[in-house]
Amino acid sequence: MKKFAILLFLTLAIGLSAIVNIGDEYIGSTPMGSYRKTYCGHTRGCAEHDDLWDRTYYYYDESVPTRLTRVEHEYYDYLENMSYDSKLIYEYLEGDDCYQKVESHYCRYAWNPDPETFNLHAQRTYTYNLQDKLIEFYKVSFYEDYSERTEYTYDANGNLVGELTYNSSYGETEPYRSAVYHYDSQNRLTHQEEMELSQLTSSLTQVWSNHPLPDSIYTWNPRAEEVQMNLFDESGLRNCVQRWRRRPNQDDWNRFDQTYQYVTAHQIHFPTQILTVSGRAHTAGGPFYQQETNFTEYYEYTNDFHNVTVNGEYVFYYNDSWLLTGGEPVDRDYGIYYTYTWEYYTPNDDPTAIPPALVSAYPNPAKGMVNISLSKRDAPNPVEAKVYNIKGQWVRNLQVNDLSSDQYHYNWDCKDQRNNAVPAGIYLIRIKTERGEVSKKVTVLK
C-alpha cells in the first residue's frame, strides 16, 4: 500500500427476494436509493416516565453525502442506574492497489474516575482490493490487550473461498482459526467448514435447485446439528420452512415448522400470517410424532400497507419510500418505542463523483475484445486507464482510440502488458479523470 489519501464511503443498498421481514429498516423491492439514516433510538417506559433510552446519531462528510464519518451512541438505564456513551470515528485511506476503512471505538462510562473522558477501546481496520473485496480485517483491543487479524482469499469469480485468522493470544505465526468455502457452477455456496486450533468447530452444506434460496441446509457444531428444508410455491417464493434440531446425546430431534401466508402489493410480498408448529421427530427430515406448540402471528395493514400491526400488540410505521420511521406498542401504558430518522441526499453533491452508469463495457462477459466507453460530458479529460485483476494487481494500460464522438473509447483485447492472454476471471477497468475516478468490472471467459 502506497501513499494513502483520505477516502470515505458508505454503501446503502438492500435487495429483496422473499417475503419481507416486518421490522427491518427497509422493505422496498428495489435498492434503497439516496437515503441515509441520521438517527435511531428506543425508549422503554410509559408516557409519564422512561426507564431506559438508547440513542444513536450518524454524521456524514459535508462534501460527499454518502460518506459516514462518525457514529455517536448514548445509553441510560434508570432502573439499573447505568449509563455509557460511545462513538465510532471513521477514516478512509486509499492506496494504489487497495483502500482501507479505519474504525476507532471510544467509550465513556459514568463510573470511570474521570467520567468526562472518552477512552480508545478498540480500533478496526478493513482493507479492500480494487474490486471492493475485503482482503484483511485487523482489530486491536486496547481494553482487553489483544489483537486479531483475518486474511480473506477469493476465486476467479469473486467468491470468498478462505479465511485465516491470527490472534495475539495464540501467537502471530500460525492461524488459530480458518474457514473454507465451496461453490457450484452458478456461484452458490454449497459447503463451508470452520476450524479452530485444528479442531472442526462448524460445518454447513447446502443443496440447490432452481430456487433463489437453497432447498436444504445442514449445519453442525459441537452444541447442536440442524436440518432445514425450504418449500416453495408455484411462483418460487418460499412459503414454508421446516427445521429439525438436536443437541449431543439427544436421541430424538426437535422439529419446528413455519408456514407463511402473504399478499403482494407494491411489488412487495407482505406476510399476513405465520403459523409456527413445534414437536418431536425420530429422524432428521421425519414427521412429527408429538405436537407440542402451535403459535400464529398475524399481520394487519393500514395506510396502504405502510402501517403494520403485529398480533394486535405492536405497530410499525413505514414512509412512502418503505423506510422504517418508528414502532410502538398498541397499548401505550408501557412498552418500547422506536424512532428512526432518514434524510434524502443529492448524489451529485460530490464534485468529484462520477456516476457508474457513464462507463460501459461490451461485451461483458468477454472472450477476446472488450469495448469501453466513457461520457465526455460528465467525465472530461481522462488522465489514465488501467486494467487490474481480482487480486488488485496491475495488468495493462489502455489508450483512448477515438476522440471524434461524445464518448472516450478504449479497447482491451483481454491481454496483459506483455501481450499474453489473461486467465478467465473478473477484472477491473479503472479510469482516472480530472473530476475523479470511475471503474467497471469485466468478466473474461475462455
- The predicted-structure confidence for 10-24, as pLDDT tens digits, reads as follows 323 233 347 899 999
Single out the residue of 311, 341, 330, 329 nearest to residue 44, CA to CA.
329
What average pLDDT score do residues 41-51 get? 77
Are 373 and 440 in contact by the 8 Å Cβ rule? The answer is no
Residue with cell 400497507: 305
- Decide if pLDDT at 104 tops 70: yes
From the CB of residue 292, how many other CB atoms can be counted at a distance below 10 Å? 12
- Decide if pLDDT at 375 tops 90: no
CATH C-level class of 354-444: mainly beta
Farthest CA pair distance, the chain: 77
pLDDT of residue 242: 96
Q: Which has more confidence, 385 or 70?
A: 70
Single out the residue of 139, 90, 187 nearest to residue 425, CA to CA.
187
The 10s digit of each residue's pLDDT in 415-424 is 988 888 888 8
- Decide if pLDDT at 32 tops 50: yes
CA 436/CA 296 separation, integer angstroms: 54
Is the pTM of the predicted complex or chain greater than 0.75? no
pLDDT of residue 2: 40
Residue 349 is given by DSSP the state G
pLDDT of residue 82: 78
What average pLDDT score do residues 59-65 get? 83
Q: Which has more confidence, 197 or 347?
A: 197
What is 318-334 written as a DSSP string? E-TTSBEEEEEESSTTS
Q: Which of 90-94, 310-314, 326-330 has the lowest mean pLDDT?
A: 90-94
Residue 49 is given by DSSP the state -
324 pLDDT band, cuts 50/70/90, is very high
115 pLDDT band, cuts 50/70/90, is low
pLDDT of residue 60: 92
The 10s digit of each residue's pLDDT in 168-225 is 887 767 899 999 999 999 889 999 999 999 899 999 999 999 888 899 999 999 999 9
pLDDT of residue 11: 29
pLDDT of residue 15: 31
- Decide if pLDDT at 286 tops 70: yes
Mean pLDDT of the chain: 84
pLDDT of residue 357: 45
Q: Which residues contact 388 (CB under 8 A, 6 or more apart)?
A: 97, 130, 131, 394, 395, 427, 428, 430
Residue with cell 449509563: 83
Q: Hey, where are the domains in the chain?
A: 5-348, 354-444
- Decide if pLDDT at 347 tops 80: no
Strand partners, 5: 94
The 10s digit of each residue's pLDDT in 293-306 is 899 999 999 999 99
332 pLDDT band, cuts 50/70/90, is confident
What average pLDDT score do residues 231-253 get? 92
